[in-house]
A = this chain, B = another copy of it.
Amino acid sequence: MSEALRTRIFQELDSLVLIDPHTHINALSPASTTLADILGYHYYTELAHSAGMPKDQIEEPGLDPAEKCARLISCLGPLENTVQYSWLVEMAQVLFGFEGDQITPENWQSVYGAAVEKMAQEDWADQVLQQSKLEAVFLTNDFDDPLEGFDTSVYIPCLRADDLVFHLAKPEVRERLERASGASVGDADSLWTSIGKLFDHFTSRNAKACAISLPPDFAPTKVSKGRADTAISTICADGSDAHSSHRQALSHFVFWTLAEFCAEYKLPFDLMIGVNRGVYEDGVFQGQDLYDSRVSLIQYKDLLNSFPQVTFPISVLASVTNQELVSYAWIFPNVVTSGHWWYSNTPAFIEHDLASRLEAVPRTKQIGYYSDMYKLEFALPKFAMYKRVLAKVLAERFVIDRGWSEDRAIELGERVLRGNVEEVFGV
């Protein structure tokens, strides 16, 4: 029976202790303090707003956490069908002892109270990690993060490169870079040196990856030092008003430099491809970004050929790009499929994308999942969603369709869930 089979496989996969290879956790405040931290996650605010809740109701300055929750809960009805809502309910059930199926204006206060009580416990973050069967989570740190005050073997640093690649024309970003690297930046050489110092710092603090999110039209190429010099001097003079050709040359130079340092420091370079920022201009915080699905990995041809020694775990925002990802990971030794990102992180897309990966990409080259979470409480329901889909695909497409034994299917599941995270990132 397929359902019983799925359940058995799920239970085996669910017993594993995992490492979450991509999150936005703040290591100094990894867990929530009230339910407002949970409901303030953009998935709820943007969906509530999309379903009709005014932005100013959500983002009123100085709003009391309980009041924020009361407001949001009263607008979650239209979202009850979504898988994002199911994360909330499953989290409340497992972490806060909630016994219902829907969190409503009638019952939310008991969840709020239970959550506050739990979250107030000194070791709440550790409890969450343990209940979520996580032994470590990757961070996504600003390039000038001091990376101090936390255990880097549990909260593993990762250099987030977005500001460097896309915002270095802003004086404040250059100043942050100069402060972080302790060197002034005025030309290609000094920029190179500064970026190198970031890698020194990050790897000295156990960083295991560099990561960046990229717009659909990004197509990296190598930029000569002379061209970079021109771009940097123009930008230092004109800032964000510099002609876009200079800003693009600088972006490309920095991006290529990051790849070079990833090679030197043996760091995988996570590429998260496809997001357009700020498409919905009046959206809530973090609820403004969308995309153009007309993107191709052919845009990364030069990069992938130029850095055979760098591993690129690649995430794509749109499921229509997934087949290219499968094919590129099947051909390029340095391409690894990575998780199910954002708008593709819902069961129907995961199922389709996962099935095609599992049957055509070497099993050693697939990072199954990451939570992308901002607060630790989300790993549990997100991973549970993924593991259910993984169990379904293994049951239906490997055990039933291809005659595999359950053990062999489970072993494949374990590898994409855990083994590859260890091997790819060296943790």
A-B contact pairs, 20 of them (CB 8 A): A49-B333, A50-B331, A50-B332, A50-B362, A51-B333, A78-B362, A80-B363, A81-B362, A81-B398, A82-B362, A82-B363, A276-B298, A280-B332, A288-B331, A290-B331, A293-B323, A323-B343, A323-B349, A346-B359, A352-B352
Report the Cα distance A360→B84, complex, angstroms: 7
Chain B nearest Cβ from A316, distance in angstroms:
11
Set B308, B324, B397: member contacting A318, Cβ < 8 A:
B324
- A272-309 interface (Cβ within 8 A of B): 276, 279-283, 287-294, 296-298, 301, 304-305, 308
A282-B298 contact given A356-B346, A356-B349, A397-B348, CB 8 Å threshold: no
Q: How many residues on A have C-beta within 8 angstroms of the other chain's C-beta atoms?
A: 75
- A312-327 interface (Cβ within 8 A of B): 318-321, 323-324, 326-327
0/1 per residue, A176-209, Cβ < 8 Å to B?
A: 0000000000000000000000000000000000
Which chain B residues lie closer than 8 Å to A50 at the CB level? 329-333, 362, 365
Give this chain's copy count.
3
Asked if A81 and B359 sit within 8 Å, CB to CB, the answer is yes
0/1 per residue, A354-369, Cβ < 8 Å to B?
A: 0110111111110000
User: Residue A392 at the B interface, CB < 8 A?
Assistant: yes
Chain B nearest Cβ from A230, distance in angstroms:
29
User: Residue A344 at the B interface, CB < 8 A?
Assistant: yes
Asked if B330 and A47 sit within 8 Å, CB to CB, the answer is yes
Report the Cα distance A52→B332, complex, angstroms: 10
- A327-353 interface (Cβ within 8 A of B): 327-333, 343-344, 346-349, 352
Chain B nearest Cβ from A179, distance in angstroms:
35
Set B84, B365, B402: member contacting A86, Cβ < 8 A:
B402
Report the Cα distance A355→B349, complex, angstroms: 9
User: Residue A95 at the B interface, CB < 8 A?
Assistant: no
User: Residue A154 at the B interface, CB < 8 A?
Assistant: no
Which chain B residues lie closer than 8 Å to A283 at the CB level? 331-332
Asked if B298 and A292 sit within 8 Å, CB to CB, the answer is yes
Which chain B residues lie closer than 8 Å to A288 at the CB level? 331
Asked if B321 and A293 sit within 8 Å, CB to CB, the answer is yes
User: Residue A382 at the B interface, CB < 8 A?
Assistant: no
A326-B343 contact given A348-B356, A348-B397, A359-B82, CB 8 Å threshold: yes
Asked if A397 and B344 sit within 8 Å, CB to CB, the answer is no
Which chain B residues lie closer than 8 Å to A329 at the CB level? 50
Report the Cα distance A410→B24, complex, angstroms: 37
Which chain B residues lie closer than 8 Å to A377 at the CB level? none
The residue on B at minimum CB distance from A81 is B363
Asked if A296 and B294 sit within 8 Å, CB to CB, the answer is yes
User: Residue A400 at the B interface, CB < 8 A?
Assistant: yes
Which chain B residues lie closer than 8 Å to A49 at the CB level? 333
0/1 per residue, A67-83, Cβ < 8 Å to B?
A: 00000000000111111
Asked if B298 and A331 sit within 8 Å, CB to CB, the answer is no
Which chain B residues lie closer than 8 Å to A279 at the CB level? 298, 301, 331
Asked if A328 and B290 sit within 8 Å, CB to CB, the answer is yes
Which chain B residues lie closer than 8 Å to A84 at the CB level? 360
- A145-198 interface (Cβ within 8 A of B): none
User: Residue A46 at the B interface, CB < 8 A?
Assistant: yes
Report the Cα distance A294→B296, complex, angstroms: 7
Closest 3 CB pairs of A and B: A51-B362, A348-B355, A78-B362
Report the Cα distance A47→B360, complex, angstroms: 9
User: Residue A401 at the B interface, CB < 8 A?
Assistant: yes
User: Residue A271 at the B interface, CB < 8 A?
Assistant: no
User: Residue A412 at the B interface, CB < 8 A?
Assistant: yes
